[in-house]
Chains A and B, each alone.
Chain A
Amino acid sequence: MHSCNLDIEINKLSKIEGHADLDIRIRNGKLEEVTLKVMENVRFFNQAVQGKSFASVPQLVSRICGTCSIAHLTACIEAVEKTLGVVPSAQTVLLRKLTMYSLMIRDHALHLYFFVLPDLFGIDSILDLADDKKELIHEALHVKEAGNNLSKLVAGRAVHAPYEQVGGFSHEIDPSRVPILISELKKVRPSVLKLMDIFYNCSWKLERKTNFVAIATPDFSFLEGKIKSTSGSVIEEKDYWDHLHNVVLPYSQASGFQFEGKEYMVGALARMNLNKESLHPSTQKDAAKYLAVFPSDNIFHNNLAQAIEILHSLDHSIELLRSGEFKKEEPAKPTRQSGEGVGAIEAPRGTLYYWMAIDEGRVRYLNLVIPTAQNLINMRGDIKKIVEDACASGVFPDELEEKIRREAEKIIRAYDPCMSCASHFLRVNLN
């Protein structure tokens, strides 16, 4: 009696970045097809960068994605610098770390408080929280604001940050603001500890053996390190392309990736599974109980991992702000005008790769590998598992549809996908 036929369509998935649809087809009680369709209209960045001066391209690619614009800006700057032999100063590297931390704080906070908490409390929006939980809205806004103010101080703005440039920062930090910011970052720490506890106590579980891949940075600063996988690979950033395979996904405006021939996951969970020893000492101390969860195969622990990364971003930022003198500096200059290079960083949603070729100061070629595109195949595998488990659970067809809708949306949100990003740089031609 449960051998039902069911077509489930979810148009415009909500509480994710960008537009995506999900179609699920069940025949005779068996899953036939899962299609996750990226519905973003392409904006043709491949072409838009061609022939542009290397100095202007970082601000141009920043417009790929509003929410993680700082990640695109930073990865692109790194690619230009590697290509043209620009060596940033120690202060620039420090400011970049702070800029990345400001992004992690506000981006993860937006995801956890606004996109995930409603599922946890069974409500449509964080704005519908019951009175006894209303303080979470205030906490959400304060944590985001701390990240936003850190962006403002260091990089000028949280979205399309104007100060971060090839070779350095165009403005220096206002020293009178530093103590104010340190106390603001400290003040939101208890809220983040509470957030970690919420996700630690969350019973959601989806385990499916997969491979995790991330750049393991020695100070967990999301910038420089070796690419590592839980399957045991250790790779230089510049060699990434030898290990990734582009996979065309039928019916989708985006393509997926495999790592050394297998599906894999990138993002906060991958970073935590591969590199938790590098977190800031204060984070290790106060999150010890939560860190014991990792390594974990439970995809929903991506939420907990993001909350831990907010704490680390606060803790390391406080230390860096205290230590820096923040002098005015001239930007580091290119030592050549042509070449090819790779910029790779950990963006909020996972490893982001930029491959750039520059001729006489003008960009000839750019190829990107986007975190969400890397997660698409794994995400689809997880949705399949959810549907198969639901079909096998023996609930009635009308309940089945509700259950699948709810569970599928929950797992997609756990990945924190960014469809604005995923739709770009689909075509790969490497000649």
Chain B
Amino acid sequence: MAEEQVKKRVGIFSLTCDEGCSIYLTEIFNQKLLGWLERADLVYFLSVKNKTDFSGLDIALVEGVVTSQKDKEELEKIRSNARVLIAMGTCAMSALPSGQRNTFTPEQKEEIREHTETYGFLPRALALKEVVKVDDEIPGCPISEEIFIKTFERYLT
């Protein structure tokens, strides 16, 4: 009976951050990965794969903040290739903690100015939704396991 269901194309992306959410995701994988792989193809995840094709994504999971022009361009490219974009973790949702420079005193901002100018940083670090449309969010630092599973599985079916 089973008509071969088309698998969802999933990509996992890291902007500026400590990659704690995607690392925690690999711990959630311990129990869940094999089941999910029956319904999804992991097409982009640099921690696990070298091949880097991320066209026509069904689900893009994005962690981190948009701190530089390059981050911004990458996020825009992910967005234009993804049907659903999910922000993973408080960095992606609200720019903290990885965008902690936003909270610096004027003196501290002055201290880091040379670096931010040299490396094409934006005036402040941005949450994903300040740059592109975000379809869903998973809170936590790192992501809450329970909410991740619930949310992700909803988009898998």
Contacts and interface: CB of A to CB of B under 8 A. Distances in A.
A133 to B, nearest CB: 15
Given A141-B30, A148-B27, A159-B142, A41 B20 contact: no
Contact of B22 (A66, A126, A144): A66
A125 B49 contact: yes
B115 interface: yes
A407 B52 CA distance: 20
A21 to B, nearest CB: 12
B51 interface: yes
B48 A114 contact: yes
Interface string A45-86: 001101000000000100111110100000000000000000
Provide the main secondary structure of the chain A interface: loop
Contacts of B46: 12, 14-15
Given A42-B115, A43-B100, A48-B100, A66 B18 contact: yes
Nearest to A424: B18
B31 A145 contact: yes
B34, B48, B108, B142 pick with most chain A CB within 10 angstroms = B48
A14 B115 contact: no
Q: Interface range on chain A: under 10, 10 to 19, 20 to 34, or 35 or more?
A: 35 or more
A63 B23 CA distance: 12
A231 B135 CA distance: 57
Given A14-B46, A144-B26, A124 B51 contact: yes
A66 B104 contact: no
B147 to A, nearest CB: 14
Contacts of A15: 46-50
A160 B48 contact: no
Contacts, number: 122
B50 A124 contact: yes
A158 interface: yes
A66 B31 CA distance: 20
Given A41-B67, A41-B119, A65-B18, A47 B101 contact: yes
A127 B104 contact: no
Interface of B: 14, 16-24, 26-27, 29-31, 33-34, 37, 42, 46-52, 67-68, 71, 97-98, 100-101, 104, 108, 111-112, 115, 119, 121, 141-142
21 contacts: A14-B52, A40-B16, A42-B119, A43-B17, A47-B111, A47-B112, A48-B100, A63-B20, A63-B98, A66-B17, A66-B20, A66-B22, A114-B26, A114-B47, A125-B48, A125-B50, A125-B51, A144-B27, A144-B30, A145-B31, A253-B119
